[in-house]
Structure formats: structure tokens, C-alpha cells
Amino acid sequence: MTTRRRASIGALAICLIAASCGGDDGEGATSATVDADVRQGVESALGASTTAANGQTSAEHPETMEAWEELWAEERAAIVARIEENGWGKSADGAELLGPDGFRVDLAACPAGWSDTEGVTDTEVKIGVTGALSGPQGDYGNILRSGEAVFKYYNEQGVFVDSQGKDRHVTLLMRDDAYDPARTIPLVDELIDAEKVFAMNTQQSAGSLKTYDKLNQRCIPQVFSQTGHPGLGDPVNHPWTTGSQLAYNTEAVLWGAFIEQHLEELGGSAKVAALVTTNDFGAAYDSGFKAFLAQSPNA
């Protein structure tokens, strides 16, 4: 398997630290429904301690950095093994990108001149990052700065070695959108057109939603977007985009299920007040919680 290619972005194993974030545009919010399997999983999780929903005992968290790194290495090796065993990644004829559960991407639909190695050399992988390095949400920029420090450290350790033995450094090109999706758009354009990055990472719901059409049309990975907006989980229409955290509407279902489980302790009824931000971020939580209430026998 050839790694570090656009057509097998999962093998890159980028581990950016994720945070919840929104934007200034209210468009694109997805109405939530409560899937039966989601509800069952939520109830299992809320009722579990050391036993996972599948009946297996969950592993204890490592307590040292060395133990975390050992676990990371084991899990990465297991993922690479699954990819190789199942023939995932770029098909032998180069026509498709293949993944689990029937995931397929037609690479013939990528634009003329597209390259699955753009932004990649024998020694470097360039990744573009947009986020709030300033402005009212400027504290979120510390996540980007932390990610840069982590990559710098592991670059020096020679950690990013692919299955063919090539050691590459990850170069993060960070741009400040001040949490404003109107600024995210030209910054993403700069990073993909001028800097020719291998992949993009966007921080905030609206900024991610405003750029995922172009990135998917251009077949540029938008990896681990730093948002839990449910609209980003769209492998059919936006297969080049992945989120990085629990979907906001699923999080809202967790809230509802918790309240429902403890309703008797609350005297048999409860009032819920919501302060909802008027953007994609807030709308996802609001619609998810309302969808839970709509099907709850305790509504």
C-alpha cells in the first residue's frame, strides 16, 4: 500500500487536538432525529462503568506519556493491518478510493491535473490549518498552537514514518480567521492554491461548512475538522471531509437521556433552559435536544 497519498488519507493518522466551535452563519444547520441505535448506545454508555456497550470490559487509560505512545503505536499498527488486509485505499487500477462498509470514491470525478501527492515530498507533508488565533474566540487558537507544538516534538522524534520506511516531517501552515467564516474562505483558497497543501484542517462549524463543497470538488482532504456539526458526517456527498468529535446533536441526546434517567431524583419533572448561539453550532444542539424531547415518553 502506498501511504501519504491523498487517496489513502486515513493512513496519515493526523492527531490534531479537537475543540467544539461554531461560526457566524446560521445556514447549513442539520435537523436532528434520534436514531434507535444511537439511543441504545447512549443509554448503554450512561449506564456503564467499566463495561462497554458491546459487553467487553473497557481498557484503563494510560497514566504516562510513554504508555499513551505505546498504545498509539499499537492502534496505528492495527489500523494499517486492517487497511492492508481489506485492500482499502487506492484501488489497483487507480480508479477508486475504497474503505470499510462499502465506502467508495470515484477518483475519475476529481478535476483535471489533480494529484494525490500534492503537498507531499519524500521529507515533508504540508497541512493547512485555519482557526481563531485572535478575536472574541481567540482562546481556541491555543488548540492550534498546541497542535503545532505536538507536531514539532514528534517531528524531532522521527515518528511520522510510513509503511515504506520514509520519515516525513509534518509542516502546519496556520492562518487566523478570527472565528469568522467569511475570512475562512479566502484563507483556505490561499492554502490550497498558493501553498498547495496536502490537506486542510478547519476550526469552527460555519467555516468548515462554507469550505467543504470546494474541498470535496477539488478532492482535497479536509481531515478532522475541529467541530462536531452533524452536517460534516456526509460520506456520500462529501467523502473528503471528516469530523473529529462527538456530533453536537448526539451530545444533546446524551443530555436528554441523562435527565430522563434521573427524573425521579428531580421530583418527577424538570425544566430545561437553553441559551442558544444563533449559528450552526447552537442550532445543532438545539435541534438535537428538541428531537429527543419529541420522542421521549416523559416529554
Helices (H), 158-202: 181-189
**Model pLDDT, residue 32:** 47
Specify the 3-state DSSP secondary structure of 226.
strand
174, β-bridge pairs: 129
So what's the pLDDT on residue 15? 32
The whole-number pLDDT of residue 223 equals: 93
With pLDDT > 70 as the criterion, what percentage of the chain qualifies? 80
Q: Given this model, what pLDDT does residue 279 score? A: 84
Q: Long-range contacts for 220-223 (Cβ within 8 Å, ≥24 apart)?
A: 220/6, 220/192, 221/6, 221/9, 223/9, 223/12, 223/14, 223/16, 223/127, 223/199
Q: What local confidence, expressed as pLDDT, does residue 60 receive?
A: 80
pTM across the whole model: 0.78
Distance CA 189, CA 184 (A): 9
Q: Is 34 helix (H, G, I), strand (E, B) or coil?
A: coil
| Angstrom distance (rounded) from CA 97 to CA 112 | 17
Q: Which whole-number Å values give the CA distances from 36 to 247, 250, 283, in the listed order?
A: 16, 12, 22
Regions of the chain with pLDDT less than 50: 1-32, 49-54
All cell numbers assigned to 119: 503537498
